[in-house]
Structure 1
Amino acid sequence: MADQGDVLTDLNADPAAGANGADNQPSAGVISQYIKDLSVENPNAPQCFQWNEQPQLDVQVNIAADKVADEVHEVTLKITCTAKTSQGNLYLIDLDYCGLMGMRNLPDEQAHAFLFAEAPRILFPFARRVVADASRDAGFPPLMLDPMDFGALYQQQLAARAQEQQQGAGAPAGEA
């Protein structure tokens, strides 16, 4: 006799799945997310709390994706925030916020777009909160990062890469 889990699985079987019960429909999603690395430096405390100059902020965001298993990738949203004045650095926040992303039956083009556009979009609000909390915990007003359109950034990156390839293809070949 089948247990209740087997009955539910059979009742919810995907009619588009293969006759052998194979799951051949495309799917992608978040398995988990976590802080992989967080560094908060306040090198000029306590003197910096007396400075009245408006700081210059520099925010750098990078995305990386590494395959960790057949259908699992780790996407890293690396965010580096530096606040400086003419008197010195106020703080440096360096965050690697990661998500384990599961993907099954996605064409390579869609998988790449998911890893470098959709996954960062999903992770960003959580990473943004970590940065705001870190700057607040360092003794400064919370740094609220502006929302980012990762889809548009991804499209710009693809267009730039295509243009580079076209320019490289049109260049005369050198002699060896």
Structure 2
Amino acid sequence: MKKFLIFGLGNPGAEYHRTRHNIGFEVLDAIASDTSSFSSERYADVARVRVKGRELILVKPNTYMNLSGKAVRYWMEQEKVPLENILVVVDELALPLGAIRIKMKGSDGGHNGLKSIQQLLGRADYPRLRFGISNNFSKGQQVDFVLGKWTDEEWKVLVPRIEKAAEAIKSFALAGPQITMNQYNG
């Protein structure tokens, strides 16, 4: 059975629940909701889901965002999953609320989670799903914004977009990155 590691970036702990920075956790929760539950394992909470002959290993690092690379490297080595079969789900300020962009490589864009992954893997050519959280904050308020909780109005917009991101992840594993990018980017 072909394995895929899906990393949803975020921060552990109740105080970070439903914050913008934790959208990666929300997307993985949506994938696991019907068929699996997360268990606490080394460096992460992990759930395993089967989708049409593929195993999706859903990993929510508990290392905090700035040390996400530690969990990514460990689980890649532990599960012996090649780089092309991982996908990192991350919040993105440069995209409108709920927009989804899948890329096969790129810079860290100033995102501390991606920066940690890039440092520990020694490369930036790994697949990622960037989930738009918008940039609706005043100058100097970026940290408060990304660590802030979603408003009720934002959450109503997000619920179907989280489901769309979960569909895109399943497509990534089943149809491959190119077809998935053509279908879900934009």
Point out the structure with the larger strand share: 1
Give the number of the structure whose alpha-carbon radius of gyration is greater: 1
TM-score, structure 1 normalization:
0.25
